[in-house]
Amino acid sequence: MSSVVFTNVTIFDGSGAAPFKGEVLVDGQRIVRVGREGAPISAPQAQCIDGKGAFLMPGMTEAHTHFSWNDQPSLTAIQFMPPEEHMLWCVRVAKRYLEMGWTSALGAAAAKPRLDVVLRNAVDAGEFPGPRYLAGSQEITILGGLADNTLPHMPFRELNFGAVVSGPEEMRAMTRMFIKYGVDHLKINLSGEYIAGLSAESSPFSEEEIAMLSAEAKRAGKRVAAHARSAESVKQCVRHGLELVFHASFADEEALDMLEANKEKHFVAPGIGWLISTLYHAEPWGISEATATKMGYKRELETAAETLQKMHKRGIRILPGGDYGFAWMPHGTNARDLEYFVKYIGMTPTEVLLSATKLGGELMMRPDELGQIREGYLADILLVDGNPLNDLAILQDPKKITLVMKDGEIFRTSHDLLPPRGEVHAGTKLPADAGVERAVHSTTH
């Protein structure tokens, strides 16, 4: 078992306390001591990493990822990536998330039935680097709904982006199929999406279909995630106990009351970066601000900002991340959400970092051992050059994230923090590429 002590760091521990100067000792996969300035940790056997004043914080959780989205400008481009290349793509994306400090992620739907599950299994087995990962299903949808991307001449269901069901029994079969594949949670598209030509305020599923999904998921001990932009779809999430609510832009007062009354159960991952980027950053791909406004995104962003501000005041858990993996918001740029949470939702920088860390541990269903710098907790740790509480944008810069540790193992570090390879304490496992600074967008496509 390897042992590492971080000295000379400012610790943001994810508890809500103000950052303090101190030291952190990691032994094996866990944090075993957190020391404050003036009470140094004595650990002569440990590899010492002098943080030189760096900001030490828990690894972050991305609450709504689609590793199989391939940084292209359309859903069709994702849909038609052949399965073999698609799997390799997901492997590369997983590494990119880890490089950017996302040590945990929740898969919000895969573009093919088993991509998420196979990726999670490979990462868990140590075959490839990636965040701790909860694997999702494909997006379950209705005929003509969001993610039913077949053209009239294409065979029904074959090659489709989503998993199309009609009626409760088909829903039962589809749910059981994904459970058989080993998903951690199911995903359902309970509302539309403007870019697909479907109103975000539509709610196309019948109550019977949603009830069936919920019953079958619960029987297997699985959670359910929902694309839920309309007010009614958010209410459906609460009525049917679907824990993971994505978007929630048009949640009305009744929906907010329902969510607040059940706030211990639900998480909201608004994916607000999608609204902002599609509205303001997609022009090179043919979506000008005027076009996106016409689609409905400006109104949705304005409404979502108001809704999320209310939600935050009510103490409903809101987490960063969501829908990165398009040309105008490529994988790895996810930390843009942190600034957006301040600007659009009115969170303080401390609240934002807590939502990315402490709440992330809760989202990952490991609140007692993940998301904080605390004795006994899993050693998912970042060293950051600079103070994100003064400037959250530094977490978008791979050069500023100087070290990523997951499960007590150092994944990525800049040259100056670690002693040369030969001096590393025997038993310390370093990946072959540790010490190599890489650009985030090194992947070509």
Return residues touching Zn ion (CB under 5 A).
108, 323
* 353: nearest Cα among 412, 394, 402, 299: 394
Dist. CA 432–CA 102, nearest whole Å: 20
Residue 124 Cβ vs Zn ion, minimum distance, rounded to whole Å:
23
Q: Between residues 27 and 184, which has the closer beta carbon with respect to Zn ion?
A: 184
Question: What are the start-end ranges of the E strands in 211-287?
Answer: 223-228, 244-247, 267-269
Q: Strand pairing of 102-107 and 409-413?
A: unpaired
Dist. CA 360–CA 33, nearest whole Å: 22
Residue 192 Cβ vs Zn ion, minimum distance, rounded to whole Å:
13
For residue 80, CA distances in Å to 112, 158, 317 come to 10, 11, 35
Dist. CA 232–CA 376, nearest whole Å: 42
Q: Between residues 110 and 364, which has the closer beta carbon with respect to Zn ion?
A: 110
| CA gyration radius, the chain | 21
Residue 189 Cβ vs Zn ion, minimum distance, rounded to whole Å:
9
Residue 317 Cβ vs Zn ion, minimum distance, rounded to whole Å:
18
Residue 108 Cβ vs Zn ion, minimum distance, rounded to whole Å:
4
Residue 327 Cβ vs Zn ion, minimum distance, rounded to whole Å:
16
3-state secondary structure of 362: helix
Residue 366 Cβ vs Zn ion, minimum distance, rounded to whole Å:
23
Residue 432 Cβ vs Zn ion, minimum distance, rounded to whole Å:
33
CA 117 vs. chain centroid, Å, equals: 16
Q: Between residues 195 and 255, which has the closer beta carbon with respect to Zn ion?
A: 195
310: enclosing H helix or E strand: helix 297-313
In contact, 61 and 363? CB cutoff 8 Å: yes
Q: Between residues 99 and 323, which has the closer beta carbon with respect to Zn ion?
A: 323
Residue 358 Cβ vs Zn ion, minimum distance, rounded to whole Å:
23
Which residues, including other chains, have CB under 8 Å from residue 400's CB and lie 6 or more apart?
Answer: 384, 385, 386, 394
Residue 431 Cβ vs Zn ion, minimum distance, rounded to whole Å:
30
Q: Between residues 323 and 385, which has the closer beta carbon with respect to Zn ion?
A: 323
Residue 251 Cβ vs Zn ion, minimum distance, rounded to whole Å:
17
Q: Between residues 117 and 405, which has the closer beta carbon with respect to Zn ion?
A: 117
Q: Between residues 105 and 381, which has the closer beta carbon with respect to Zn ion?
A: 105
Dist. CA 346–CA 94, nearest whole Å: 30
What is the 8-class DSSP label of residue 72?
A: B
For residue 288, CA distances in Å to 21, 72, 195, 279, 299 come to 47, 17, 13, 7, 15
Q: Between residues 64 and 358, which has the closer beta carbon with respect to Zn ion?
A: 64
Dist. CA 261–CA 131, nearest whole Å: 32
In contact, 353 and 389? CB cutoff 8 Å: yes
Q: Strand pairing of 47-58 and 3-11?
A: parallel
Cβ neighbour number for residue 10 with a 10 Å cutoff: 18
Residue 246 Cβ vs Zn ion, minimum distance, rounded to whole Å:
6
In contact, 251 and 270? CB cutoff 8 Å: no
Q: Between residues 225 and 382, which has the closer beta carbon with respect to Zn ion?
A: 225
Dist. CA 66–CA 60, nearest whole Å: 16
Dist. CA 105–CA 123, nearest whole Å: 12
Q: Between residues 63 and 100, which has the closer beta carbon with respect to Zn ion?
A: 63
Q: Between residues 58 and 136, which has the closer beta carbon with respect to Zn ion?
A: 136
Dist. CA 302–CA 347, nearest whole Å: 16
Q: Between residues 323 and 380, which has the closer beta carbon with respect to Zn ion?
A: 323
